[in-house]
Amino acid sequence: MDQSAITVRYAKAIFELAKEKNLLATLKEDIEMIASICKDSTEFILLLESPIIKTSKKTELITSIFNEKVHPLTLNFLNLITQNKREIHIPGICRNFLAFTRRDQNIKSAVLTTASEIDTKTIKKIEQLMEKELGAKIELSTQINTKIIGGIILRLEDKQYDASVATQLKKIKQNLLETELKN
């Protein structure tokens, strides 16, 4: 079975169960924590991917890691995934679950890239403007990339608005080269 189909199927199952039991907010926090661990802990990923470690041992280790840190439903779900030998798909399942949750709650994620750090007041203002313009809640994260020289790059889900100085300079250079070639 296709990996993406597996992750979507499991994510949709836990998402719908969370909605049915009115535990969406709780499970969202749990899944965000698990996704963060998957992203930050190579040891945890090695545990999930190891063909040498028996399923029973993986279940035991996952239970010891997450017991009393997540809702029992989340823990049971992780154990079910592991028992079905789908534990390598946990990061993808988390990603899809969070996407279902954002879509359900009309939340759009955006990344703002700047050349230098900007203050929280400005970030909040940008967030508010985007929320007003799009009619949705915005989860805005920021990152710094000095290579853009100045300006901003705003990525909203699968669209990108690039108003960086580096891009403007590239456009000017391209125009000059095209003008030079025509003459």
Is the pLDDT at 183 greater than 70? The verdict is: no
Q: Is 123 exposed, middle or buried (0-12, 13-18, 19+ CB in 10 A)?
A: middle
Query: What whole-number distance in Å separates Cα of residue 102 and Cα of residue 28?
Result: 10
User: Is the CB of residue 111 less than 8 Å from the CB of residue 142?
Assistant: yes
Query: What whole-number distance in Å separates Cα of residue 58 and Cα of residue 81?
Result: 11
Q: What is the pLDDT of residues 71-130, one digit of tens each?
A: 999 999 999 999 999 999 999 999 999 999 999 999 999 999 999 999 999 999 999 999
Q: C-alpha distances in angstroms, 31 versus 1, 4, 78, 98, 163?
A: 24, 18, 10, 7, 34
Q: Please give the radius of gyration of the chain, using alpha carbons only, rounded to the nearest integer.
A: 22
Sheet holding 107-114, edge to edge: 137-144, 107-114, 151-156, 159-164
Token digits for 179? 């003008």
Query: What whole-number distance in Å separates Cα of residue 143 and Cα of residue 122?
Result: 14
Confidence of residue 2 (pLDDT cuts 50, 70, 90): low
Q: What is the pLDDT of residues 30-75, one digit of tens each?
A: 999 999 999 999 999 999 999 999 999 999 999 999 999 999 999 9
Is the pLDDT at 163 greater than 70? The verdict is: yes
Token digits for 38? 């998957």
- Name the more confident of 119 and 3: 119
